């Protein structure tokens, strides 16, 4: 763990406490009185802000925030503020991840987390029909905008950034370290341009710029998606041994889905039956949507090859899982946990579109169609390997270009018309962190955002996905770099960014164990090649269950071909109980798997019901977070003692 050097760069807020009964105890910070929270935070407050700073639309918005005083005995070195992605998610619901990121700094730094206006407890925007809809539609999004009436323009990132600046003023905080992830990087850039004097340092984790050449078409989206799969394949010995790139491997499945789309029904997750159309757009959603991130990179190449060979289930399962995970709404559709209305208001109010948002919706549809026709004629491969038409059939909030066609017309009075001042980007310390395998906010997007700031340092985390400093990332490297940057503004040593191991890809999907490569016998092995192929099947069965746990967390899930998995949280990882899980049709795996998280050793104690002579019990073990990791298997199958090694699954 590095040594952090705290710099006192801002006057400390003035505190006073009323030590009465615990339920009525308050804390005064600057001009505000904070109360005890009904959340894990120690102190909370609600700061009233004008809904419309110009006064045209009456009313106020309650800006909710949570405050953690520093834990050390000396005056605070400063304040750290975290802001969430989406848009639509409340930052305070991600408090645990932000606190874990900041934990080594909290002895010296106060922490503030604010729900942006229109999210969480800051007056969450409730467009009931949009919040409850089976799927987003252009008409539903437009109806939400019209239902907001005069409020439609008053949830801009500009106003949310001004809310934070006003809150800092009221708290008596001079300057902050600001961390933003995903859309939070957009907010952070807007805040930086509108309030540069409030900032000591900024971290943009999973960043994209505010504008740029060809911006409304998201020009880096498809190249990054292609590179994600191709690079992952290049770094896998099994995948790279197959002629061609990963895109070449996937192309026959895409061709088949174009020629013969069909209605599919797949059981996934909490034993739910998902019905959908298996077509090119469904595959595009898997590949662009990056949800589930780990499983989609790990499995798509092999699943596409299996699909063409007649084994459709692995790819259909990914399609079904993605359908559920690209929907940002929680299962209860509670707007306080994710506001679809706020997401639409920001997405349609702030960034540039492929059409003129000042046009009335009817004229805008014509402008949209004309722009797409031009794009089709001049740059038909914008989203290759998918056509523009296939890309547009993805969910609207992942395809982007049609999302706002029916939104109310923008006027010059909208705050988004003055989103940022016409001024150069300030020369303040900025750290931009990108994931090499992130196509949502690609490394190219991160580079474009970093290039705007004279003092920016851009780090690309090898083999990293979307957002790399929080607990769900593949490595602790991003968090270490962010903590060091906030502590002493250092960007000198980012060697760990190149040390994150590649994603271990599924070598192939198999219906029977005999189709797999055998594990390698080591000293003490008596098992034959058929039994050693069953060992490989057992390893891949366990990792398949882990991949689902990483994506979905605690709960009950299904094996690929049969059986169930019960997942419970265990420290930084999970404990999995497998019940007759079949990854291949002829090997049923039951038992316990302990996954430690991104580092440590996986331990599995399983019993197998396999082909004749290949049933028995195995102890499996392999390390996580290690390049070239090897798994060890010991036990008995039939009457044969097993002692074998294989690539970690």
* Model confidence pLDDT, tens digit, residues 325-343: 898 888 888 999 999 999 9
Neighbours of 202 (CB within 10 A): 27
Q: Could you tell me which of 48, 54, 45 has the C-alpha nearest to residue 156?
A: 54
Q: Model confidence at 505, in pLDDT bands (50, 70, 90)?
A: very high
- Integer Cα distance of 18 and 372 in angstroms: 62
Q: Are 366 and 356 in contact (CB under 8 A)?
A: no
Evaluate if residue 10 carries a pLDDT over 80: no
447 and 525 share a domain? no
Q: Please report whether residue 600 resides in a domain.
A: yes
Q: Please report whether residue 385 resides in a domain.
A: no
Q: Please report whether residue 47 resides in a domain.
A: yes
pLDDT 10s digits, 219-246: 999 999 999 999 999 999 999 999 999 9
- Integer Cα distance of 502 and 236 in angstroms: 8
pLDDT 10s digits, 482-492: 999 999 999 98
**566 burial level (CB within 10 Å; 0-12, 13-18, 19+):** middle
Q: Could you tell me which of 260, 262, 258, 240 has the C-alpha nearest to residue 249?
A: 240
Helix (H) or strand (E) holding 555: strand 555-558
Q: Are 136 and 395 in contact (CB under 8 A)?
A: yes
549 and 577 share a domain? yes
Q: Count structural domains, the chain.
A: 3
90 and 192 share a domain? yes
> What's the pLDDT score for residue 9?
29
**445 compared with 8, residue with greater pLDDT:** 445
Q: How many CA within 13 A on the CB side of residue 112?
A: 27
Q: Does a cis peptide bond (omega within 30 degrees of 0) precede residue 87?
A: yes
Give mean pLDDT, residues 522-533. Answer: 97
Q: What's the pTM? A: 0.94
Per-range mean pLDDT, top range of 12-16, 209-213, 382-386: 382-386
Q: Could you tell me which of 219, 220, 250 has the C-alpha nearest to residue 232?
A: 250
- Integer Cα distance of 510 and 336 in angstroms: 43
How are beta strands 562-570 and 573-582 bridged, if at all?
A: antiparallel
> What's the pLDDT score for residue 22?
43
pLDDT 10s digits, 396-408: 999 999 999 999 9
Q: Cα separations (Å) of 519 from 121, 124, 524, 634, 647?
A: 54, 54, 14, 11, 8
Q: Please report whether residue 383 resides in a domain.
A: no
Give mean pLDDT, residues 547-554. Answer: 94
Q: Model confidence at 272, in pLDDT bands (50, 70, 90)?
A: confident
Query: Which DSSP symbol is given to 73?
Result: S
481 and 539 share a domain? no
**102 compared with 4, residue with greater pLDDT:** 102
Evaluate if residue 17 carries a pLDDT over 50: no
63 and 184 share a domain? yes
Q: Are 282 and 291 in contact (CB under 8 A)?
A: no
Q: Are 4 and 488 in contact (CB under 8 A)?
A: yes
189 and 229 share a domain? no
pLDDT 10s digits, 442-475: 999 999 999 999 989 999 999 999 999 999 899 9
- Integer Cα distance of 34 and 506 in angstroms: 52
Evaluate if residue 412 carries a pLDDT over 60: yes
108 and 194 share a domain? yes
205 and 63 share a domain? yes
> What's the pLDDT score for residue 5?
28
Question: Considering 447, 468, 498, which residue would you say is the last residue of a domain?
Answer: 498
Would you call 499 helix, strand, or coil by DSSP? coil
> What's the pLDDT score for residue 327?
87
Q: What are phi and psi of 377, to 5 degrees?
A: -75, -35
Q: Model confidence at 271, in pLDDT bands (50, 70, 90)?
A: low
How are beta strands 555-558 and 78-83 bridged, if at all?
A: unpaired
> What's the pLDDT score for residue 455?
86
How are beta strands 15-18 and 520-521 bridged, if at all?
A: unpaired
Residues 152-177 as b or e (16 or more Cβ within 10 Å = b): bbbbbbbbbbbbbebbbeebbbbbbb
Q: Please report whether residue 578 resides in a domain.
A: yes
471 and 536 share a domain? no
> What's the pLDDT score for residue 270?
64
Specify which residues 33 forms β-bridges with: 28
Measure CA of the first residue to CA of the last residue in the chain; give whole Å.
Answer: 30
pLDDT 10s digits, 115-155: 999 999 999 999 998 999 988 999 999 999 999 999 999 99
229 and 186 share a domain? no
Q: Model confidence at 269, in pLDDT bands (50, 70, 90)?
A: low
Q: Please report whether residue 622 resides in a domain.
A: yes
DSSP string, 330-358: -TT--TTT--HHHHHHHHHHSS--SS-TT
187 and 53 share a domain? yes
Q: Please report whether residue 206 resides in a domain.
A: yes
- Integer Cα distance of 535 and 529 in angstroms: 10
Residue with the two structure tokens 């092995």: 525
Residues 605-631 as b or e (16 or more Cβ within 10 Å = b): ebbbebbeebbbebebebebbeeebeb
Evaluate if residue 15 carries a pLDDT over 50: no
Host domain of residue 65:
39-114+155-210+419-498
Question: Considering 303, 325, 347, which residue would you say is the last residue of a domain?
Answer: 325
Give mean pLDDT, residues 284-301. Answer: 96
Q: Cα separations (Å) of 183 from 61, 109, 180, 467?
A: 21, 24, 7, 11
Evaluate if residue 431 carries a pLDDT over 90: yes
| CATH of residue 426 | 3.40.50.1820
pLDDT 10s digits, 76-93: 999 999 999 999 999 999
**Strand intervals (E) in 55-164:** 60-68, 78-83, 109-114
Q: Please report whether residue 52 resides in a domain.
A: yes
> What's the pLDDT score for residue 516?
98
Give mean pLDDT, residues 276-280. Answer: 97
Give mean pLDDT, residues 49-60. Answer: 94
Query: Structure tokens of 159?
Result: 């106003």
Query: Which DSSP symbol is given to 502?
Result: P
Evaluate if residue 19 carries a pLDDT over 70: no
177 and 266 share a domain? no
Specify which residues 205 forms β-bridges with: 181, 433
Q: What are phi and psi of 548, to 5 degrees?
A: -70, -40
Question: Considering 498, 522, 546, which residue would you say is the last residue of a domain?
Answer: 498
Give mean pLDDT, residues 259-281. Answer: 89
Q: Model confidence at 169, in pLDDT bands (50, 70, 90)?
A: very high
Q: What is the CA radius of gyration of the chain?
A: 26
In percent, how much of the chain has pLDDT > 90? 89
Residue with the two structure tokens 């079904």: 320
Evaluate if residue 53 carries a pLDDT over 90: yes
Q: Are 286 and 390 in contact (CB under 8 A)?
A: no
């Amino acid at each position: 763990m590095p040594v952090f050097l705290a710099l006192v760069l801002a006057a400390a807020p003035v505190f006073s406490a009323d030590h009465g009964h615990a339920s009525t105890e308050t804390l005064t910070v600057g001009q505000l009185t904070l109360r005890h929270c009904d959340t894990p935070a120690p102190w909370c407050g609600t700061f009233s802000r004008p809904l419309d700073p110009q006064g045209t639309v009456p009313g106020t918005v309650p800006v909710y925030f949570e405050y953690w005083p520093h834990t050390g005995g000396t005056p605070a070195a400063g304040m750290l503020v975290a802001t969430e992605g989406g848009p639509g998610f409340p930052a305070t619901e991600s408090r645990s991840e932000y606190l874990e990121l900041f934990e080594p700094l909290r002895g010296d730094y106060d922490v503030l987390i604010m729900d942006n206006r229109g999210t969480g407890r800051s007056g969450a925007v409730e467009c009931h029909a949009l919040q409850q809809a089976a799927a987003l539609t252009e008409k539903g999004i437009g109806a939400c905008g019209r239902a907001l009436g005069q409020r439609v323009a008053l949830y801009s990132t500009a106003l949310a950034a001004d809310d934070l600046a006003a809150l800092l003023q009221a708290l008596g905080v001079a300057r902050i370290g600001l961390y933003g992830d995903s859309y939070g990087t957009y907010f952070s850039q807007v805040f930086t341009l509108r309030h540069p004097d409030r900032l000591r340092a900024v971290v943009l984790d999973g960043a994209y710029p505010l504008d740029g050449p060809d911006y409304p078409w998201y020009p880096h989206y498809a190249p990054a998606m292609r590179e994600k799969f191709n690079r992952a394949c290049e770094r896998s010995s099994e995948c790279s041994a197959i002629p061609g790139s990963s895109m070449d491997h996937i192309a026959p499945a895409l061709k088949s889905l174009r020629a013969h789309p069909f209605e599919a029904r797949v059981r996934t997750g909490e034993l739910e039956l998902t019905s959908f159309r298996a077509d090119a757009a469904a595959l595009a959603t898997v590949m662009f949507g990056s949800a589930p991130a780990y499983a989609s990179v790990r499995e798509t190449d092999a699943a596409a090859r299996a699909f063409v060979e007649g084994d459709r289930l692995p790819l259909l399962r990914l399609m079904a899982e993605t359908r559920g995970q690209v929907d940002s709404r929680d299962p209860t559709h509670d707007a306080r946990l994710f506001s679809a209305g706020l997401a639409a208001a920001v997405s349609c109010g702030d960034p540039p579109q492929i059409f003129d948002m000042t046009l009335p919706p009817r004229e805008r549809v014509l402008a949209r169609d004309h722009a797409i026709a031009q794009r089709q004629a001049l740059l038909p491969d914008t989203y290759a390997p998918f056509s523009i038409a296939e890309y547009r059939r993805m969910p609207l909030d992942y395809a982007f270009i049609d999302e706002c066609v029916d939104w109310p017309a923008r006027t010059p009075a909208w705050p988004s018309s003055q989103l940022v001042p016409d001024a150069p980007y300030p020369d303040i310390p900025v750290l931009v962190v990108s994931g090499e395998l992130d196509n949502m906010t690609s490394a190219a997007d991160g580079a474009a955002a970093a290039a705007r700031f004279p003092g920016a340092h851009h780090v690309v985390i090898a083999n990293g996905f979307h957002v790399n400093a929080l607990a769900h990332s593949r490595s602790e490297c991003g968090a270490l770099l962010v903590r060091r940057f906030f502590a002493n503004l250092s960007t000198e040593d980012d060697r760990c960014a190149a040390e994150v191991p590649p994603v271990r890809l599924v070598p192939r999907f198999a219906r029977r164990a005999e189709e797999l490569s055998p594990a390698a016998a080591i000293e003490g092995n008596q098992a034959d090649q058929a039994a050693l192929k069953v060992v490989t099947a057992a390893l891949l069965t366990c990792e398949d269950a882990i991949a689902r746990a990483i994506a979905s967390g605690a709960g009950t899930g299904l094996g690929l071909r049969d059986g169930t998995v019960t997942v419970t949280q265990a420290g930084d990882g999970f404990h999995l109980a497998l019940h007759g899980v079949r990854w291949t049709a002829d090997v049923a795996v039951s038992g316990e798997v302990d996954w430690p998280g991104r580092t440590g050793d996986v331990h599995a104690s399983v019993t197998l019901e396999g082909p004749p002579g290949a049933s028995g019990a195995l102890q499996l073990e392999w390390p996580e977070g290690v390049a070239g990791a090897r798994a060890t298997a010991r036990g008995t199958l039939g009457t044969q003692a097993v002692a074998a090694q294989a690539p970690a699954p």
